Amino acid sequence: MEVIKITPRGYCYGVVDAIQMAKQVAQEPAYPRPIHILGLIVHNRHVVESLEKEYGIISLDGPDRLSLLDQITEGTVIFTAHGVSPAVKAKAKEKGLVCIDATCPDVTRTHELIRDLAGKGYQIIYIGKRGHPEPEGAMGEAPGRVHLVENEEDVDRLQLGDGPVAVTTQTTLSQWDTEELIEYIRSRYPNVLVYNEICFATQARQEAAVTQAKDADLVLVVGDVRSNNSNRLVQVVRERAGRPAYLIDSVNEIDLRWLKGARRVAVTSGSSTPTHLTREVIEFLEALDPDQVDLMAAKA
C-alpha cells in the first residue's frame, strides 16, 4: 500500500514542553509527593498512562479544575498545557501545594489578551468548545466578561450591551470554521476587534492535511477521541479535501473495510499523539498488499 506521510504532523512544541516538564518534576526528588496533574497533561491516553506507569504521576480528569483540587491535599500539582484560571492557581496555593505550570505559551498569550481587553472594558466573545479545559481556563481570566460561543445560534443569544466588543478563539479549532463564525460575529457587531488565536502548529497541520490529502483515497488521523485538534483534522479533511477520513487511537483500530479499493492512504496525527503510534500505523499500511486487502475486506 502506498502511504502519503502528511507533514507536519504529531507533537507540537507546547505538548513536548508539557510532557518534558512533567517528567522532570517526577525525576526531581525535591518536589514533594504525591505528584498530581490537574486534568490530562495532553489529550492522549497513551501519554497519560505512560506518565502514571513510568513516573508515578497521578492524573485527575474532570470538567471543573477548581473542584478537582479538592482531591489533592498535599504534594505537587501540575497544570496542563490547556491552561487554568486564576481561581485555580489561587486555590492551589492556598492549599499549600507546589504548583508547576505547563500551560502552552500560545494559550498563555490568549489569557494575557483576555486580561488586557477586560481591563479596557471590552466584552469578549470566545469561540471555543464547551467542556474543553482550554475555554474553562481562558474564561476564568475575566468572569462575566468572556462569553463562550460555538455557533451562530450562540451568537444570536448574546446580550452584550453598548460597550466595546472583541472576539478571540480557542487555539485548537478549525481555522475555516473560526473564520466563518467570525464573519457572522462581524455582521452582528460591525466594530468588533478580532484576535484569531488558533496556534501556528494547529493551522499548519490542518493546511497540510487538506492539501496533501487530495492525492489520497482516504486519510487516517492518529489521535485520541478527546483530542480536539485530532477531531478537527478529520473534519477539515472531509469538508475541505473531500476525502473520507477516520480517527484512530492506534494501529489496532484500523478497519480493513475502510481500505477496500484504496491504493494510496494518507496518514497524519494530532499534536498530542506520540510519534511511535503514527509510525506503527504507517509501517502496517506499507506492508499491506492492496489486492489482499480487497479480498479480506470482502470477507469481513
Query: Domain 2-10+201-299 belongs to what topology?
Result: Cobalt-precorrin-4 Transmethylase; domain 1 (3.40.1010)
d(CA 175, CA 229): 11
Q: Give the pLDDT confidence score for residue 195 in this predicted structure.
A: 96
Domain range annotation of the chain = 2-10+201-299, 13-104, 106-198
Q: Give the pLDDT confidence score for residue 280 in this predicted structure.
A: 98
Catalytic residue among 49, 134, 150, 197: 134
Percentages of the chain per state (helix, strand, coil), in multiples of 5: 45, 15, 35
Q: Give the pLDDT confidence score for residue 148 in this predicted structure.
A: 98
Q: Give the pLDDT confidence score for residue 299 in this predicted structure.
A: 66
Q: Give the pLDDT confidence score for residue 47 in this predicted structure.
A: 95
d(CA 38, CA 61): 7
Cell of 16: 513536548
Residue whose C-alpha cell reads 506520540 in the numeric block: 274
Active site residue 280: no
Contact 221, 246 (CB under 8 A): yes
Q: Which residues of the chain have pLDDT under 50?
A: none
d(CA 182, CA 250): 35
Fold equal for 2-10+201-299 and 106-198: yes
CATH number among 3.40.50.11270, 3.40.50.970, 3.30.470.10, 2.40.37.10, domain 13-104: 3.40.50.11270
Q: Give the pLDDT confidence score for residue 162 in this predicted structure.
A: 87
How is domain 106-198 classified at the architecture level of CATH? Answer: 3-Layer(aba) Sandwich (3.40)
Segment (H or E) for 155 = helix 152-156
Tally of CB atoms within 10 A around 32: 12
Q: Give the pLDDT confidence score for residue 39 in this predicted structure.
A: 93
Q: Give the pLDDT confidence score for residue 177 in this predicted structure.
A: 77
Q: Which DSSP string corresponds to 24-41?
A: HHHH-TTSPSSEEEES-S
Q: Give the pLDDT confidence score for residue 213 in this predicted structure.
A: 96
